[in-house]
Amino acid sequence: MEDKKLVVITGASSGFGLEMAKMFAEDGYPLLLLARRVEKMEALNLPNTLCKKVDVTDKTGLEKAIRAAEAVYGETDLLINNAGVMLLGSIETQNANEWQKMLDVNVMGVMHGMQTVIPSMKARKGGTIINLSSMAGYQAFENHAAYCASKFGVRGLTQTARLELSPFNVRVITIEPGAVKTELLEHTTDDTIIKGYNEWKESVGAVNITAKDVAKTIKFAYELPQSVLLREIVICDTMQDA
Ligand code: NDP
């Protein structure tokens, strides 16, 4: 079997990240899993896997964890910048701390990850970076102002990175999921918004797509040959109407 190279996944303690961790491990990839709830990642008990408690807003901590994994498994071939938060609220009333948190985790966290792996990917003319944006990265949804700002941001910064890295044969991919059931919505502090969001999904029937479907799609994009780039992937439930 061809040697599998190091895959780094941020936000691997739940949702898409956790499903990706399981799927990549099943196929024998060495993994570095990062999130704040390290016990959830350790509980997966995956082979050839390092789990580190890292907050992606802390660039030094993130870099240290990636270098430690590279010392064991070799250079990062795939970085999946998946960690993210969604705190929905109206511009009129939402606390600015929630806006700041989304911009710090969703945008700065992704930039920190990219800056950590880009030099070695450029030098060896290979590697893949996958950034999680959202359908809220190219269209508006009510009560999503700061989340949209962060995810439009991810899409923009990823397009820029693609321009900078394509001459070096480094692939840069944006994933733009629609609504998929994970823990993401639960962190919103306004219960009326959570209720409205769930009612919308139920009413249109957009409830069948799973985190596994998203994980499988991301793995498929990575496993295409290095010369083939799925630049942006929009993935949502067939019944999603917006
Ligand atoms: P979950 O809430 O289930 O998972 C989010 C992950 O991010 C968790 O593992 C969490 O771990 C981690 N995380 C959050 N903050 C930080 C931080 N500061 N540092 C490190 N890790 C952090 O959500 P999803 O799986 O749904 O979301 C994954 C990505 O997909 C996000 O970027 C999200 O915006 C995006 N997305 C999701 C959609 C959906 O409908 N589910 C739709 C479109 C995009 P911990 O708390 O342990 O640190």
Which atom of ligand 1 is nearest the CA belonging to 40? 47
Residue-level pLDDT at 37: 98
Find all residues with CB under 8 Å of 184, minimum gap 6, and list them: 15, 84, 85, 86
| Backbone φ, ψ for residue 128 (5° rounding) | -140, 135
CA of 120 to the centre of ligand 1 (A): 26
Catalytic option among 29, 147, 197, 222: 147
Which atom of ligand 1 is nearest the CA belonging to 81? 32
Both tokens of 43, joined, read 């509980």
Binning pLDDT at 50, 70 and 90, where does residue 2 land?
A: low
Residue-level pLDDT at 1: 46
**How far apart (Å, rounded) are the C-alpha atoms in residues 156 and 137?**
9
Average pLDDT over residues 42-70: 98
CA of 66 to the centre of ligand 1 (A): 19
CA of 149 to the centre of ligand 1 (A): 16
Which atom of ligand 1 is nearest the CA belonging to 154? 32
Residue closest to 22 by CA, chosen among 48, 39, 46: 46
CA of 229 to the centre of ligand 1 (A): 24
Find all residues with CB under 8 Å of 118, minimum gap 6, and list them: 129, 161, 165, 170
Identity of the residue numbered 177: P
CA of 116 to the centre of ligand 1 (A): 20
Binning pLDDT at 50, 70 and 90, where does residue 3 land?
A: confident
Tell me which residues have their CB closer than 6 angstroms to ligand 1: 10-17, 35-37, 55-57, 82-86, 105, 132, 134, 177, 179-180, 182-184
Find all residues with CB under 8 Å of 33, minimum gap 6, and list them: 9, 12, 13, 17, 21, 41, 44, 46, 49, 50, 51, 52
Residue closest to 154 by CA, chosen among 125, 112, 124, 207: 112
Asked whether the predicted pLDDT for residue 33 surpasses 70, the reply is yes
The model's pTM is: 0.98
Task: Name the residue of 18, 36, 135 whose CB sits within 8 Å of the most ligand 1 atoms, as the mutation to test its pocket.
Answer: 36
pLDDT in tens, 63-91: 999 999 999 999 999 999 999 999 999 99
pLDDT in tens, 95-129: 999 999 999 999 999 999 999 999 999 999 999 99
Angle at 184 between CA 9 and CA 234, to 5 degrees: 70
Task: Name the residue of 184, 187, 201, 232 whose CB sits within 8 Å of the most ligand 1 atoms, as the mutation to test its pocket.
Answer: 184
Average pLDDT over residues 223-233: 98
**Annotation marks residue 147 as catalytic:** yes
